[in-house]
Structure 1
Amino acid sequence: MRKYLYIRVSTKEQNEDRQLALKDKYGLRNSDVFIDKATGKNFDRPAYQNLKVEVQKGDTLIVMSLDRLGRNKEQALEELREFKQRGIRLIVDDLPTTQIELDEKNQLIIEMINNILIEVYTTLAEEELKRTKIRQRQGIDSMPINDNGKRYSKKTGREVGRPNKRENLTTEQERYIKAWINKSIKLSDCIKFSGLSEATLYRIKAKLISKENNSKSKNEI
Structure 2
Amino acid sequence: MKTILYARVSTKDQTAAHQLTQAENAGYLVDDVVTDQGVSGVTTRLAERPQGRRLFDMLRSGDTLLVRWVDRLGRDYEDVSDNIRAFMRRGVVVRTIINGMVFDGSTQDPMQRAVRDALIGFMAALSQAQAEATKEARRAGIAHAKAQDFAGTKFRGRKPSYTREQFDQVGVASEQGLGTSEISRLVGLSRQAVLRIQADPSGCEQTLQKWGL
TM-score normalised over the length of structure 2: 0.45
User: Between Structure 1 and Structure 2, whose CA radius of gyration is higher?
Assistant: 1
**Which of structures 1 and 2 has the larger relative contact order (alpha carbons within 8 angstroms, sep 6+)?**
2
